[in-house]
Amino acid sequence: MTYSSTRGGDQDRSFDHVLLEGLARDGGLFIPNEFPTFSKTEIESFKTKPYQDIAHAIMFKFLDGWISANDLTKLIDKAYSNFTHDEITPLKKLDDDLYCLELFHGPTLAFKDVALQLLGLLFEHSLSKKEVGKRTVLGATSGDTGSAAIQGCRGLDYLNIVILHPHGRTSEIQRKQMTTVLDENVLNIAVEGSFDDCQNMVKQAFGDEDFRDQFGLTAVNSINWARILSQIPYYFHASLRAKQAGKPLKVMVPTGNFGNILAGYYAKKMGAPIDQLIAVTNENDSLFRFFQTGEMKTGVVTQTPSPSMDIQISSNFERFLYELLGHNSALVSQSMSGLKTKGSYSVDQDKKAKFANIMKAYRCSNDDTERTIKDIYERYDYMLDPHSATGVYGVFKDKEIHEADDCTYISLCCAHPAKFPDVIQKTLDQVPDKPDFIADLESKQERVEILEADVSLLKETISSKFAGK
């Protein structure tokens, strides 16, 4: 299995190269040169297999030759050993036609744990075989990626990790899950700006080849292919359990950086019984507008009750753009250049129309988010966090538009409500129960650097912390 850049300048790379580089040197994102598929018999067998076995079967298709089957089993078992539910990503049935896919049973109570508890171990497996110094994980977070990445990488022998988050734009718990980790290989940076500013600084640092090589920069954001790969299994696991004979299955995905729904698209491509994927944005709705008009356009990021989705430019959308443009790297490169220089690009309606039945988008307002939290709690005695609420809102919206259709819905529940007590308090007039380790954050010491949105300051701070280490 080899991988190439969406922009065409970095071709036929190994998984090891893609894992450690994260971002292609031409600025593009790595994708497999081919996607494996499964026979009907193989897919049918997944219905009764535990999550870990499904993950192994899917991931080994991409990793055979890089890791032995036995070693991959050990890494997967270790990665998910600290999840609090035996099924890892269980389905919660709310109604005959509505399931919530609970992705928050990992150590930081967010869906990012599913991939990032494994990603750190994949890095260690690779680097332990090489006579090289430490690599430096550099990433940006709008809320949940950072804490999950830090938990997956803290204390590892071969890695330092630097995470940028927008200052004052995460929940207090999201922030403290990052800034109270005091391991020497961890550096937290709060950027005076938006998540898009953080993400841009990361890309600029990767674009400085001397700096990139000096610190061995690598990525844990969903620009890293291994992140996407690690999320594909739960789409198989869930869809095979929820699919009902003769009824279309639609999957609602709260969407910010587009990595989660992209994993669902690839799962469908590989044979998961999903009929349609629906991205649900919050009021930062550039993706929704793209699916309406075919134009991707930058915009000002506004704060919402779902901060992890407060993104206007979704890094992972470039991989889907590659699909929309018929795998034409030159057109992808041209489009991304237009986004950088003019703030927009457009895709012809005929190209977009080919995917209309596969993927579409809805927009959930702040008021819709709060109403959905309240409605679901009153109907089912089930508490949603504000990100998960956007997905369930999408179910209601789709039923309203397609009221004659008889569909089954899976809505992805991406975080535990305890991470957003202020929103829950405002909406339901009660505070969600906190796991003990979340309550303990209140008394812990924090360590964080606050920087202006300037890549030169970022590089200085990394150099000061990790040069020679």
Active site residues: 112
CB 161 within 8 A of CB 134: no
> Pairing between strand 135-140 and 159-166?
parallel
Candidates 98, 90, 2, 4; CA nearest to 327 is: 4
What letter would DSSP give residue 312? S
Q: How far apart (Å, rounded) are the C-alpha atoms in residues 322 and 214?
A: 31
Packing angle of the helix pair 386-401, 366-380 (nearest 10 deg): 90
Give the pair of three-digit tokens for residue 270. 């590989």
Give the pair of three-digit tokens for residue 25. 């040197």
Give the pair of three-digit tokens for residue 333. 């490169």
Give the pair of three-digit tokens for residue 10. 């970095």
Q: How far apart (Å, rounded) are the C-alpha atoms in residues 96 and 43?
A: 24
Q: How far apart (Å, rounded) are the C-alpha atoms in residues 316 and 309?
A: 13
Q: How far apart (Å, rounded) are the C-alpha atoms in residues 23 and 203?
A: 9
Give the pair of three-digit tokens for residue 289. 């507008």
CB 466 within 8 A of CB 136: yes
Q: How far apart (Å, rounded) are the C-alpha atoms in residues 95 and 352?
A: 33
> Pairing between strand 359-363 and 276-281?
parallel
